[in-house]
Amino acid sequence: MHLQSSIQVNHPIEKVLQFFYEPTSLAKWDRSVAEMIPISNDGTKEGATFQTIAPSGMKMDYEVIEMTNERDVKILLKNSKMFKKAIWQFQFDPTGDGTNVTCHIYFSLRPLYFFLYPVLFVTKRLC
């Protein structure tokens, strides 16, 4: 399944990218994240790994699997109980008024969570 969302940010792309790649920023814009812990040294390169900790204490591991000039990044969720596979893709495009940020999520659920597909399908249609 593929879900997509976009937002216009009224800041230049350089400032938006700086905020996005700062490890402490993730918890400021993603309610499911209380803390982000870099595992490898540089989160702005392919192969970089990090872990997130949810407000509930659940930990999730991620790897940057593709990156194009920091403006297009794909991040793989590793070892998830819910997702068979999940990739987040963020695209940053400068506009006259700032930066357009688009988030794509490509995923498939594990059988135990198949009941979520109809809900997500309806959500997808509403976007």
pLDDT tens digits for range 57-114: 999 999 999 998 889 999 999 988 888 999 999 999 999 989 999 999 999 988 887 8
Reply yes or no on whether the pLDDT at 3 is more than 90.
no
Taking Cα atoms as reference points, which of 38, 103, 27, 37 lies closest to residue 72?
103
Reply yes or no on whether the pLDDT at 125 is more than 60.
no
Q: Alpha helix locations (H) across 11-115?
A: 13-21, 26-29
Position with higher pLDDT, 3 vs 90: 90
Q: What is the helix, strand, coil percentage profile of the chain, to 5? A: 25, 45, 30
- Spell out the CATH class of 2-126: alpha beta
Give the pLDDT of residue 106.
Answer: 95
Mean per-residue pLDDT, 108-125: 76
Contact 87, 65 (CB under 8 A): yes
